[in-house]
Structure 1
């Protein structure tokens, strides 16, 4: 075994410590960069939290800040009332994210998070605010495409728990433990109501923002056709990226998705 030299010990003492995670309101930055070249906001799925993206910062450039966002009612915002409509959640995120948009930024959302990222971008366009340089929408069908269900929020507890178990992405202990279900069940119902009752505005024009779509090849909720339909909703569609797996395919493809995001955000305008 190599002995640690005096120089090694001195370097270890003088090395800069790893940056401590920063958190303000709905935004958590696991690796702050004081002079960040870009910020990537990551939006979670229904019933989820920013923990979906735990560790992703390690796959991105050191001078980028990944901003993990939580909807009210979970994580650091556990004590805040849940928000039950897409418009109200967009209002919330627009206010929470505004202080963070002072440099180039982009959005990536998974499932419900993709819907929120899309509607938030539309809101920024309408209000003439700074726009993301790119948005990535994962496991979410484009507006106007047929959805498999519109009433999950009205299912019985048994139906909802069985369905969540079949889709994956939810720890078994949350579904099997009555105490945990009493805590998390209302969050799932709230978020599914938000998604199930959302309706696209008629006559919506394509976004003036580059857009890429992502999905799992075995996802039975959102198939390739619904993902490919996003091409009609952006003036610059950057393509559809399919990866092995179901609705939560991204748990196994974080680094591959990161490479696509980096390429999209650094592509010439």
Structure 2
């Protein structure tokens, strides 16, 4: 294998209201033969100057356009919460456009595609109620709640993301994805419980399993290492099945990783 060619290019897709920042240490905690790319949606992180999308399909097209030139080696997608459904949509669109498909998808803290949305959309809640819900969910920096000026800046982006998530529906008649997929859940996540995450098995032709970790919706926030070890194992298993990794890679993955 060309030493300049990564064994895997992993694209990480952030949650609603987030950015690449909570995932910035992940590249150092994954194998050094991987090329880990942290993506921002418009209105977030390095793309803060762009208006946010409120439609998952349009966001998936935007991100696929940005990474299309980088699909030159085996690649994978990992998405947390909103990022999970965007990973699903990117894969659908890559297939429709005849582009290379990911060898693996990791979906985290996002229930399997449902025909109906939530009974009480968060994006329509008054400010005070929305803030309380977000504080309970976790994942939003406390300074955003504490600073009225910061809240005024970030609230429209958070609402746009929540609208995107809550109004998204899978395409009618969509069959299972033709790629390997793993699902990850926090044991105490009331928003995307392990039981609801298990539904992803119906949406892939090769389900590698449901992985349940201690914690709530942002179960990896304190220490991402248990999740990163599972990502290594599952993605390497998918690489092997695709004939893109040496036979001993799954056993050696932990040793190849740099400490986070």
Provide TM-score, normalisation by structure 2: 0.87
Instruction: Select the structure of larger CA radius of gyration.
Output: 1
Q: Could you give the per-residue CA deviations for residues 182-237 of structure 1, whole angstroms, max 9, x where no partner exists?
A: 11101100000101111112211111100000010000101112100000111110
1:38 maps to what in 2? 8
| 1:205–1:253 Cα change, 3 Å | farther
Instruction: Quote the offset at 1:150 in angstroms.
Output: 4.9
Q: Which residue among 63, 72, 77 is the counterpart of 1:102? A: 72
1:166 maps to what in 2? 136
Secondary structure of 1:240's match? strand
Q: CA RMSD in A?
A: 1.5
Q: Tell whether the 8 Å contact from 1:149 to 1:196 is kept in structure 2 after alignment.
A: no
1:175 aligns with 2:149: no
1:87 aligns with 2:77: no
Higher mean alpha-carbon deviation, 141-150 vs 229-238, is at: 141-150
Secondary structure of 1:249's match? coil
The whole-number CA distance in structure 1 between the counterparts of 2:200 and 2:51 is: 32
Q: Could you give the per-residue CA deviations for residues 67-96 of structure 1, whole angstroms, max 9, x where no partner exists?
A: 000001122111111111111101101101
The whole-number CA distance in structure 2 between the counterparts of 1:82 and 1:241 is: 31
Q: Which residue among 86, 105, 109 is the counterpart of 1:116? A: 86
The whole-number CA distance in structure 2 between the counterparts of 1:147 and 1:251 is: 27
Q: Tell whether the 8 Å contact from 1:243 to 1:253 is kept in structure 2 after alignment.
A: no
Instruction: Quote the offset at 1:57 in angstroms.
Output: 1.2
How many residue pairs align between the two structures? 237
Q: Tell whether the 8 Å contact from 1:211 to 1:234 is kept in structure 2 after alignment.
A: yes
1:188 aligns with 2:158: yes
Secondary structure of 1:252's match? coil
Q: Tell whether the 8 Å contact from 1:145 to 1:226 is kept in structure 2 after alignment.
A: no
Structure 1 stretches (4+) deviating beyond 6 angstroms?
A: none
Q: Which residue among 118, 126, 129 is the counterpart of 2:99? A: 129
2:113 maps to what in 1? 143
1:72 aligns with 2:34: no
Q: Tell whether the 8 Å contact from 2:10 to 2:75 is kept in structure 1 after alignment.
A: yes
Q: Tell whether the 8 Å contact from 1:73 to 1:81 is kept in structure 2 after alignment.
A: yes
The whole-number CA distance in structure 2 between the counterparts of 1:142 and 1:175 is: 30
Secondary structure of 2:166's match? helix
5+ long unaligned stretches in structure 1: 1-32
The whole-number CA distance in structure 2 between the counterparts of 1:54 and 1:155 is: 31
The whole-number CA distance in structure 1 between the counterparts of 2:116 and 2:108 is: 17
| 1:131–1:68 Cα change, 3 Å | same
5+ long unaligned stretches in structure 2: 242-260
1:199 aligns with 2:178: no
Q: Tell whether the 8 Å contact from 1:148 to 1:221 is kept in structure 2 after alignment.
A: no
Q: Tell whether the 8 Å contact from 1:212 to 1:240 is kept in structure 2 after alignment.
A: yes
Secondary structure of 2:220's match? helix
Q: Tell whether the 8 Å contact from 1:101 to 1:130 is kept in structure 2 after alignment.
A: yes
1:17 maps to what in 2? none
Provide TM-score, normalisation by structure 1: 0.84
